[in-house]
Structure 1
């Protein structure tokens, strides 16, 4: 899908963060790496073995209950859940998060064409902000306006409406770029055009 043509008559584009601008796993796997290193330091257990278990479990079954599964496998105290959760919120990543190439090029084109760029993201606000701070934006950061849905305690559709209202835009002057059915449903509730991020090419 040639999003550059699709966005030609738009004044604003609204993005989700995870799996839209970069792969969520690029963040989570670094968090798991840091947690495994922490456990090795604290418990003298092999960090590489722990990380490999967490990586495989994540790739097979996702992130749900990953701490509990890891704790059971390696006989870790439940108290380490605190450290695990805290790392998700404030981890200093060894490597910066990199935007998908197609998204980077798309956003650069939007800036050149003076389109407004918004990020509306769900999930823990501290964690999402931590991701944003550790992303290599290639200078795009000064053009971004970010909304954290969980902090605002509003459904995305309401945030979309507020963005349109505050920028004097009609629904056909904006575009939502997402990666899941939820984003699509929230967009369709207010008749916002929607496209899937990974279908975008130049």
Structure 2
């Protein structure tokens, strides 16, 4: 994982993606599945929450979240009317457990802040879901020192490029910014603007 010794300390701002960069996304998704399974057992008395939770977990870990409600519905006979509850829960869930930052990332964030570097979160995906994830992260006080931007909110604004918007709003130049993530498309988007890219997994 990336550490403070790996970075170019001439950069003023470090822009992080959220999912699987700051924390493991599965920690959020699997708790949502757990809550849905327990809601369904409470409402319908079937299927048993433990069985549905285990099915959703295995399916997610093997194949991802795409079409997972239908897969569960086909196996357990879940009424299609509950798909709305399943979808809504992703943005409203009150998780039983706090989400933990990767330990090395927590150390890096603390060192960045201690060395007067600005840290921004720039996250793609449904803003309501991403906001709920942010609320459930155990920031250990770091949240008071972060700025958060939602790609999907900015991209619908006329004439706005989300990444350029962040740079201009904060009176930055591309050379003062480093993107931190693990997605090749993000690397390309940054580099075509002259923004350095750091792969969180490559150190």
TM range (shorter): over 0.9
Instruction: Give how far 1:198 is off.
Output: 2.4
Q: CA deviation at 1:77?
A: 0.7
For residues 100 and 154 of structure 1, do their structure 2 counterparts lie closer, same or farther at Cα, with a shift above 3 Å needed?
farther
Mapped to 2, the partners of 1:146 and 1:49 lie a distance apart of: 37
Aligned equivalent of 1:20: 21
Q: Which runs of 5+ in 2 are unaligned?
A: none
Comparing 1-10 with 145-154, which one deviates more in the overlay?
1-10
Tell me the TM-score normalized by structure 2. 0.93
How far apart, in 1, do the equivalents of 2:143 and 2:189 lie?
25
Q: Provide the residue aligned with 1:173 in structure 2.
A: 176
Query: Is the aligned partner of 1:6 residue 2:10?
Result: no
Deviation at 1:163, TM superposition (A): 2.1
**Which of 51, 54, 58 pairs up with 2:56?**
54
CA distance in 2, matches of 1:103, 1:53: 31
Q: Structure 1 residue 3: deviation in Å?
A: 4.2
Which residue of 163, 172, 180 corresponds with 2:166? Answer: 163
CA distance, structure 1, for counterparts of residue 51 and residue 43 of structure 2 = 15
Matched-pair contact (CA < 8 Å) for 2:155–2:162: no
2:4 & 2:202 partners in 1: Cα distance? Answer: 9
Q: Distance in 1 between matches of 2:53 and 2:25?
A: 17
Give me the TM-score of the superposition, normalised by structure 1: 0.93
SS of equivalent residue, structure 1 residue 176: strand
After TM superposition, the structure 1 stretch with the greater mean CA deviation from structure 2, 66-75 or 187-196, is 187-196
C-alpha distance in structure 2 between counterparts of 1:152 and 1:164, whole Å: 13
Shift of 1:199: 3.1
Contact 1:4 1:106 in 2 (8 A): no
Question: Is residue 184–residue 194 contact of structure 1 (8 Å, CA) maintained in 2?
Answer: yes
Bigger shift: residues 185-194 or 2-11: 2-11
In the alignment, structure 1 segments of 5+ residues that lack a partner are: none
Q: 1:111-167 CA deviation, whole Å, 9 max, x = no partner?
A: 101111111111110000000011000110011111111112259x93222222232
